[in-house]
Structure 1
Amino acid sequence: MTKKELIGKMAEASGITKVQAEKALNAFIDSVSSTLKSGEKVTLVGFGTFQVSERAKRQGINPRTKTPITIPARKSPKFVPGKALKELVDK
């Protein structure tokens, strides 16, 4: 499903216009993004949790030259589905 299709489904399900649904979706995305950027997590009970995962610095191998390289530490967004969502998808 694309963002455009999601906006259409949101508008239809809630009885609002597509423009309003797009504003709501963009506000949701911006809110989650800014919360994750500040290091906090977003929990939607029954749906899941958006959180920041930290990856430690580690050693890797350059596949072209086969020489060892150091992969720097980094932060990455992560989504952990809630129990209700897992059960819904599993059926």
Structure 2
Amino acid sequence: MANIGPDNFELVKELLGDKNTMNRGTLEEVLFEELGFSREMSRVFVTQFFQTVSDVLATGEEVKLTTLGRFEICGRAYKMFFDPEAKEWFDAPTRLDVYFHPSKKLTDFIDYNLRQKA
């Protein structure tokens, strides 16, 4: 079995093609092509992974993925806004957002590969 990492950067670029985004289907394809999972098992694995991350974030906990980064829930404070057309104030309640903080290894990897393109 192969290891997915910096050595497989060319494979990932090939799978992405002209697109600049990686989606679930692309991840499933990497598991199928590179690791030899069946298509069904790849689909189940990717779906279960994202469901698990979503479930943990929904509890308010942080999700750390070694060498990738971390996802955390951060709240936006309650604010009052003035609408100049209506000439009245309205409130924007507190809201929770998910933030991703890339790891040092990920940022170094991206920086190295972008410099190789230049």
Query: Aligned residue for 1:25?
Result: 46
Flag the 1:81–1:20 CA change in 2: closer, same or farther, 3 A: same
1:81, CA displacement in angstroms?
Answer: 0.6
More strand by share: 1
Flag the 1:72–1:87 CA change in 2: closer, same or farther, 3 A: same
- Largest Rg, 1 or 2: 2
Tell me, yes or no, if structure 1 residue 60 matches structure 2 residue 92: no
2:66 to 8, 23, 45: 45
1:13, CA displacement in angstroms?
Answer: 1.8
Kindly, what percent of the aligned residue pairs are identical? Answer: 27
Higher relative contact order (CA 8 A, sep 6+): 1
2:103 to 58, 82, 85: 82
Mapped to 2, the partners of 1:69 and 1:47 lie a distance apart of: 40
Could you list the runs of 5+ residues in structure 2 that have no partner in the other structure? 1-21, 113-118
Q: Which moved more, 1:18-27 or 1:53-62?
A: 53-62
1:22 alignment partner AA: R
Paired residues, number: 91
**Counterpart secondary structure, 2:99:** strand
Query: Structure 1-normalised TM-score?
Result: 0.85
